[in-house]
Amino acid sequence: MSRLTRELRRMWRGEQGALPRFLAGLTLPPSLLFRAGAAVRNGLYDRALLPVHSGSIPVVSVGNLAVGGTGKTPISSWLVTTLADAGWSPALVTRAYGEDEILLHRRWNPEVPVLRAPRRIDGVREAVRIGRDVVVVDDGFQHRALARDLDLVLISPSHPLSSRLLPRGPLREPMGSLSRADLVLVTAKGPAQLTPARAMVEALSQMGVGRRIALFPFEVGRWQTLDGTPANRPAGPPLAVASVAEPEGFLRLVTDRVDGSAPSLLTFRDHYEYGPADLRHIRRESGGRWIATTEKDAVKLIAFREQLPETRVLPLTPAPPEGLGQWILSRLGRKAAEREKA
């Protein structure tokens, strides 16, 4: 991760320092332009001046208000599993900014089609063509050209509740846009985020944004090999390797689950595609230590397993609040019944 990226994230978190203050001033004009563009675009959709395309099957969107780090890919996968277990035949539609997202979905739900579609309506139509009866759209909140039957929006406590839009802050659109959501889920990745996540649920409730707000925690799973097989953790501190939106959060999770000296962190940009030179860099940085990495990195690093030191994966498992799956299924069932009557 570049120093500029680190400093931008420090600025987003409201940390002090000369460089974050300088960047805050420097990014103010483009942030104001971004806000104006988002306002115009949303206004055109709100007034039905831009077209919205509807599919012939129910559509559920799982999206973000801020960029990255909220857990939308595993929650999309959990939702696909929930639908399949209830007798639906789901497909997952994604723009897929990185190949890792598609690889993860195929690992977690190998029987469910994963359709890449920059125009999400094209993915919905393809799902209908291959006989699917419901679509989950991964990262669809800002894709307003597609009508959806249920809009789930995720927020992380690592993103402060502020009015700052990109690039001055992490938000893709203002907080008021949460009023479009059917459900706002505040995600908590591990025990350390539970308290700030609960505080964020309370703050959002007091702000009156969103129709329904709930806490969605993740549990830290057991160590695995790169192919997902359960395995014991090697002795000693590892080198944590991550190409995710919030690598520091992953480092905290690893630190809580190793003995002795704290692990060090080697980061790459989000969705990074590893090559031979990166593997040499990882081996040099490891200095004989074992590697701890994320599931998102595991699906890319598995092709290089023979070139890596001993490597373990620390997964995060969705732990949805009681009744959430049934609430979603009930809403979709009503929507499907309304379609049949129309």
Q: Lowest-confidence range among 159-168, 212-221, 308-317?
A: 159-168
Amino acid 160: pLDDT: 80
Distance (Å, rounded) from C-alpha 311 to C-alpha 233?
Answer: 9
Query: Does the pLDDT of residue 200 top 60, yes or no?
Result: yes
Residues 133/126, Cβ–Cβ less than 8 Å = no
Amino acid at 25: G
**What three-state secondary structure class fits 56?**
coil
pTM over 0.85: yes
Q: Lowest-confidence range among 205-209, 268-272, 327-331, 336-340?
A: 336-340
What percent of the chain clears pLDDT 70, i.e. is strictly above it? 99
**Confidence tier at 11 by pLDDT (50, 70, 90):** confident
* Averaged confidence pLDDT in the chain: 93
Residues 30/167, Cβ–Cβ less than 8 Å = yes
Distance (Å, rounded) from C-alpha 214 to C-alpha 133?
Answer: 27
Amino acid 288: pLDDT: 92
**Confidence tier at 260 by pLDDT (50, 70, 90):** confident
Amino acid 275: pLDDT: 95
pLDDT tens digits, 117-146: 999 999 999 999 999 999 999 999 999 999
Amino acid 193: pLDDT: 95
Mean pLDDT of 259-284: 93
Identify the CATH homologous superfamily for domain 59-220+318-341.
P-loop containing nucleotide triphosphate hydrolases (3.40.50.300)
pLDDT tens digits, 18-73: 888 888 899 999 999 999 999 999 999 999 999 999 999 999 999 999 988 899 99
Start-to-end CA span in the chain (Å): 52
What percent of the chain clears pLDDT 90, i.e. is strictly above it? 82
Query: Does the pLDDT of residue 16 top 80, yes or no?
Result: no
pLDDT tens digits, 212-245: 999 999 999 999 999 999 999 999 999 999 999 8
Residues 169/65, Cβ–Cβ less than 8 Å = no
How many residues does this entry show for the chain?
A: 342
Residues 75/187, Cβ–Cβ less than 8 Å = yes
Kindly give the pairing relationship between strand 59-64 and strand 213-220.
unpaired
Q: Give residue limits of the domains in the chain.
A: 3-46, 59-220+318-341, 239-314
Residue with token string 């802050």: 169
**Confidence tier at 210 by pLDDT (50, 70, 90):** low
Distance (Å, rounded) from C-alpha 153 to C-alpha 177?
Answer: 10
Amino acid 1: pLDDT: 53
Neighbours of 60 (CB within 10 A): 24
Query: Does the pLDDT of residue 79 top 60, yes or no?
Result: yes
Mean pLDDT of 279-291: 96
